[in-house]
Amino acid sequence: MGPKSIAGLAGALIVVLVALSSVYIIPETHRGVLLRFGELIQTDIEAGLHFKVPVIDQVREFDVRLLTTDLPSRQYLTIEKKPLDVDSYIAWKIRDVDQFYRATGGDEYRASELLMSRVDNGLRDEFGVRTMVEVVSGQRDELMIALTERVNETAQNEFGIRVVDIRVKAIEFPGQVSQNVYRRMATEREKLAQEFRSRGRELAEGIRADADRQRTIVLAEAFAKAEEMRGEGDAQAAQIYADAYGSDSEFYSFYRSLEAYQNTFANEDDIMVIDTDSEFLRYLKDPQGSR
Amino acid sequence: MAWNEPGGNRNDNDPWGTGGGRGGNDQGPPDLDEALKKGLDKLNKLLGGKGNKSGGNGGPSSGGGSSAGGIGAILALAAIIFVGYVVFQSFYTVNEQERAVVLRFGEFSRTEPPGLRFKVPLIDNVNLVRVTSVRNTESTGQMLTQDENLVSVDLQVQYRVGDARAYVLNVRDSNQALAFATDSALRHEVGSSTLDDVLTEGRAELAVRVEQRLQTFLEEYGTGLSIVRVNVESTQPPDAVQDAFREVQRAREDEQQLKEEAETYRNKVVPEARGRAQRLTEEASAYKEEVIERARGETSRFLAVLGVYETAPEVTRERMYIQALEGVLSRTSKVLVDTQSSDNMMFLPLDRLTNRAGTGSDSQDNSGSGSSNIDIQTLSDQVVQELRGRQDSGVRRSR
């Protein structure tokens, strides 16, 4: 009885072990391949519970989720030979586990090394035919789409990898160039500041000149109007005088002269030297007024 | 099936019979216990130990193992703990902020909403994902603009898990993917804007464009993340050129100030000129009226006199003449000269007279002319005397 049950125990253990090793689970995030003596006999095994022959069959499973690989910053030259430090990343995933296993031995690290060198070359080519402005702004999308397509094509065929996206994270100037850019920016700003100040002076001068012009015109117009009015007044007055005095011009001369005498000799400091023969003094010498 | 044989008695003698009665699943362990029990019994016999007094339950089992009950109890306890553990493991709770992504045998099975949930131990694999909470990631740094300038941008992305299944299954490191994509989207959009845009009005628009671009990236990668909001926290010129930028700001203010000063000048000068202009025209208008009225007055006076004059010209004329001369002469100093009788040269010290008169007239405006009147009086007296003296001598000579 004793040995029997021990043997039974051992047998049960073996059965359990065999059962366990003939069952394997591939998680949803992975795909598997089945190898029998190193030979691929089943590929692209989907998620779920699967069976295999214990010991003989081996399962390799690969994470097929999207991976982002950071490409170290490299310097590329644009068509005008300007150096740019470019930092980029690759988004990729294993598409064909069979192909992937064959090409890389299932080593993700190796796979990303292979991808990186291709992307590096691709970027160098793409940058080399574009100007800096195109690379920085205008054609970023085009550049990346073209590059992604090209790399994707070879990666799919050769490594069983799908390159989802290649993106430039950062495009920067190398240190020395940055200094130049700072200087240029500062100069541009100085120029701008100067422009603002000069424009301010220009505007101010314009406004002052306009003000002065308005003042001059207003005053001149007023002067003209005033003179016109004075002239009208003078004319009307002259007309009135002419109308009145024209009726007896001889008497007017007399009348006006008398008035003028009174006005012109109005000052008490005036000294009159009068001939005693004058008409006024006719009676001074002779009551008869005879000469 | 040989090892199962002792199990036949189990129902009779198994002290934990009820406790262990969990159906066929647990059949293995009691058999194993049986075997162990027997082994231990033999060991006890070999050592010559008496039957344990505690083992008084005296079961009919072979060998009468007195310690079998104790070991059985321990094992039963272990089994209870194990079962309890399994039951405990079958339930889990999903918090309000979470969703559970359940994999069965590795295959995606379902996502579970919040609440108490059941799973099959060892078979179901549960991933709890916080979906409602908003997370942050930032991207900062200096970047190139379209016009080849550099600008420092500080961007914050708020996001949450929109699709728990995708988040768990599609991307190995969603957060890294997001960080990379954020850098890329931000620099792309800054690279498509001019420096002035990024620094001023373009900021809000920049955030919108980054958000759109980032969302397309995330969808393309199937991260299951969704963007809540993208904030452009700050955009600044690089430290090295900030002074120059501030200088521009100052220059802008200077411009404004110069302009305003000029406008102040204009606002002062033009209304003043208008005022003066009005004064000029008003004065002219006054002059016009004055001249006309004066003419009217003078002429009507003249006409009135003329009317009288025409009735008696000679008399009126005489009267007017005398009256006028009276008026004139009464106010002035007079020197009478008899020119007929004195044909000799007559000398009048006119310069002295006028000088005196001039000094007198200086003060004439303010002070009354009283003192100068006296001067002139005495002066004229002197003149008259002088003249008389000469006349006398002249007369004497001529005669």
Question: Residue B156's beta-bridge partner residues?
Answer: B138, B231
* Residue of chain B with shortest Cα separation from A274: B336
The answer to whether the Cβ–Cβ distance between B269 and A215 falls below 8 Å is: yes
Task: List all residues 6 or more positions away from A196 whose beta carbon is below 8 Å from its beta carbon.
Answer: B248, B251, B252, B254, B255
* ipTM of the prediction: 0.72
**DSSP string computed for A95-108:** --HHHHHHHHTT-H
The answer to whether the Cβ–Cβ distance between A140 and B289 falls below 8 Å is: no
* Residue A267 parent element (H or E): none
* Residue B341 parent element (H or E): none
Of B39, B259, B284, the CB nearest to A229: B284
Q: Are B35 and A5 in contact (CB under 8 A)?
A: yes
Task: List all residues 6 or more positions away from B355 whose beta carbon is below 8 Å from its beta carbon.
Answer: none
Q: Where in chain A is the domain with CATH 3.30.479.30?
A: 67-172
Q: How many CB atoms lie within 10 A of CB A77?
A: 13
Of A170, A189, A190, the CB nearest to B143: A170
Query: CATH top-level class for A67-172?
Result: alpha beta
Per-residue pLDDT of chain B (399 residues; tens, 9 = 90+): 333 433 333 334 443 433 333 333 434 444 555 655 665 665 565 555 444 444 444 444 444 444 566 788 889 999 999 888 888 888 899 998 899 999 888 888 888 899 999 988 878 888 899 988 899 999 888 888 888 889 999 999 999 998 999 998 999 888 899 999 999 999 889 988 888 888 888 888 899 999 999 999 999 999 999 999 999 988 989 888 889 989 998 999 999 999 999 999 999 999 999 999 999 999 999 999 999 998 899 888 888 888 888 888 888 888 888 888 888 878 777 777 666 655 555 566 666 666 655 554 444 444 444 444 556 566 667 766 766 665 555 444 443
User: Residue A19 phi/psi, 5° resolution?
Assistant: -60, -45
Give Cα A242 distance to the centre of its chain: 81
Write out the two tokens for A13.
């253990």
Q: In terms of CATH, what superfamily is B134-238?
A: Band 7 domain (3.30.479.30)
Euclidean distance between CA atoms A183 and B243, whole angstroms? 12
Write out the two tokens for A60.
């390799």
Beta strands in chain A (DSSP E): 23-26, 30-36, 39-45, 48-51, 57-63, 67-77, 83-94, 161-172, 271-275
Judged by DSSP in three states, A46 sits in: coil
* Residue of chain A with shortest Cα separation from B274: A218
Judged by DSSP in three states, A160 sits in: coil
The domains of chain B are located at 90-128, 134-238, 243-294
Write out the two tokens for B64.
């009468």
Euclidean distance between CA atoms B168 and A131, whole angstroms? 41
Instruction: Kindly list the residues from chain B whose CB atom is less than 8 angstroms away from the CB atom of residue A261.
Output: 324-325, 328
Instruction: Kindly list the residues from chain B whose CB atom is less than 8 angstroms away from the CB atom of residue A196.
Output: 248, 251-252, 254-255
* Residue B3 CB burial class (10 angstroms; 0-12, 13-18, ≥19): buried
Instruction: Kindly list the residues from chain A whose CB atom is less than 8 angstroms away from the CB atom of residue B298.
Output: 241
Strand B150-161 vs strand A83-94: parallel, antiparallel, or unpaired?
unpaired
Q: Are A119 and A88 in contact (CB under 8 A)?
A: yes
Question: Residue A89's beta-bridge partner residues?
Answer: A70, A167
Measured CA to CA in angstroms, residue B294 lies from A30, A180, A263, B340 at distances of: 120, 85, 16, 44
Write out the two tokens for B227.
């963007």
